[in-house]
Amino acid sequence: MPLNFPILLTWLRVALIPLMVGVFYLPGAWISSFDKGLASTCIFIVAALTDWLDGFLARRWNQTSAFGAFLDPVADKLMVAGALLILVQLDRVNAVVAFIIIGREITISALREWMAQLGASKSVAVSSIGKIKTTAQMVAIPMLLYYDTLLGLIDTRIWGQWLLAVAAVLTVWSMFYYLRKAWPLMKEHS
């Protein structure tokens, strides 16, 4: 396993996941519900920024590796799944929406692994639909973790719900897009 700064940032993201989730299990006498939302939002945002930074630095410093390429999406999916499960428990996200998003991530990860084994990983490379979905999701989740009015102007509950609905639609759309691109190889190797 190579160890470099971008991979350390990815490991930091993995370590932040239980912290983001654990904040909600602190006793109410220690921290208010508002502060739990604020703390988890800040942790999620820091983790999301490390996602961008580790990829940027790995490419810039030419420190990409097969292990980093494996760990990065795993960390992303764990971060999103952990946040969505907390949001379902807090009744801020419908379980069906969380299932759609998490189920798609598992499906596409498995598809990408299978396609890589066939030497056709470029067939399921990240699309612009997937990037827009990820952006909507990564903005919606911290809004729903915060779950209050931001700066007296932005009702994060409404915007978070709306953006997560957009992300869920794009999730299904992008899943069908990837499956359609992989379909010829799936038929050939079934």
Query: How much is the pTM?
Result: 0.88
Structural domain range at position 101? 94-190
Distance CA 13, CA 86 (A): 17
Together in a domain, 156 and 106: yes
Structurally, how many domains does the chain consist of?
A: 2
pLDDT at 124 over 70: no
> pLDDT (tens digit, 9 = 90+) per residue, 34-68?
899 999 999 999 999 998 899 889 899 998 888 88
The DSSP code sequence of 92-103 is SS-HHHHHHHHH
What pLDDT, on the 0 to 100 scale, is given for residue 55? Answer: 86
Together in a domain, 103 and 76: no
What pLDDT, on the 0 to 100 scale, is given for residue 42? Answer: 96
pLDDT at 27 over 70: yes
> pLDDT (tens digit, 9 = 90+) per residue, 80-95?
999 999 999 999 999 9
- Mean pLDDT, range 124-128, rounded to an integer: 70
> pLDDT (tens digit, 9 = 90+) per residue, 131-181?
899 899 999 999 999 999 988 899 999 999 999 999 999 999 988 888 888
- 174 with 128: CB under 8 angstroms? no
**DSSP E strand boundaries for the chain:** 149-150, 154-155
Domain end point (choices 72, 91, 110)? 91
- 100 with 172: CB under 8 angstroms? yes
Together in a domain, 2 and 49: yes
